[in-house]
Structure formats: C-alpha cells, structure tokens
C-alpha cells in the first residue's frame, strides 16, 4: 500500500460508459479513490450504495468519488444502472491501478489462500498526493468514515 504523503500514481482507465478517465483529470480537487473486489457481490454492493446515498454530501464538499475494480465496462454499466450509482466506476481488468496502489494482495477465505483486491480506500489531495490510506475497510461504514474525516469530525 502507498504511504501518506506519496505521489498518487496516475492511471487512465475506462469508465462504465467506455470513456477514458485519468486520475490527473481531477488535479485541483480532492478524490476518494476506493478499490473493491467485485460488482454485484453483497459487501461491494453495500459499499457502493453507501457512497451513492452520501454522494450529494461528497459533491457539496467538492470531492470526487471513484470506485475501481477488475470488472468489465459492461459489468460496471449494469451495476451502476441497477443501484443508481451516480459516481465514477472504473474498469481495471489489467490491474494497472490496482497493483500500483498496492491493493492486489494475498487473501484468505475459508482456509484457501488466493490473490485478490483488498477493499481499500485512498483520499488523494488537490495536488495529487496521498492524504489518507484506509486499508481493509468495512463496506458498511467506509463512506461515513470518509465523510467524517473530510469534515474534520
């Protein structure tokens, strides 16, 4: 995982509509960059819906919300439509951003060890630097924790 104060690695990935989106497009704005394992799974759906439910508050604070997973553009499109997700979802099947942000890690589930995306969130400041690192976040509280941090609560 990246350290606080590190330069956030730039990337260019496709959003749910097939448009190329780069992190550097958002210089001058604070960005919540969250990585999640898979569209339409229970935890990931709860996390995305929590970001969706709080989206107006993020917007009011001038914060961009970006979700990243290995899922395809088509999968993201269906996921966003099904749950009316108003924020950016990026497809990273080659793990370009996933690996550069250190969230592709060994995971253990039911005694099996495999590699996968560890649910993690970064807050990137207006200058493209890592302001906060939140490894192994809980899907149900992640969005609210970030808002509390951003508001200085």
- Range(s) of the domain holding residue 61: 29-150
Helix residue ranges, H only, the chain: 42-53, 55-60, 73-83, 96-100, 142-150
Catalytic residue among 44, 117, 130, 137: 44
43 domain residue, yes or no: yes
In a domain, 39, yes or no: yes
Q: Is 6 helix (H, G, I), strand (E, B) or coil?
A: coil
Give pLDDT, residue 153: 87
pLDDT in tens, 69-110: 999 999 999 999 999 999 999 999 999 999 999 999 998 878
Give domain status of residue 14, yes or no.
no
In a domain, 71, yes or no: yes
Tokens matching residue 99: 């690996």
Number of folded domains in the chain?
1
Which CATH number characterizes residue 124's domain? 3.40.30.10
* DSSP category for residue 129: B
Active site residue 44: yes
Average pLDDT of span 133-142: 95
């Amino acid at each position: 995982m990246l350290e606080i104060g590190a330069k956030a690695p730039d990337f260019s990935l496709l959003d749910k509509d097939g448009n190329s989106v780069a992190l550097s497009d958002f210089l001058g704005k604070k960005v919540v960059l969250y990585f999640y394992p898979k569209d339409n799974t229970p935890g990931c759906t709860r996390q995305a819906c929590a970001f969706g439910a709080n989206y107006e508050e993020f917007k009011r604070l001038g914060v961009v919300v970006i979700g990243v997973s290995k899922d395809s553009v088509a999968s993201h499109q269906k996921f966003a439509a099904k749950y009316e997700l108003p924020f950016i979802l990026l497809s990273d099947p080659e793990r370009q951003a996933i690996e550069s942000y250190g969230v592709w890690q060994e995971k253990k589930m039911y005694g099996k060890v495999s590699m996968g995306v560890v649910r993690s969130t970064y807050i990137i400041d207006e200058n493209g630097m890592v302001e906060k690192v939140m490894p192994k976040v809980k899907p149900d509280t992640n969005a609210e924790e970030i808002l509390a941090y951003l508001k200085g609560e």
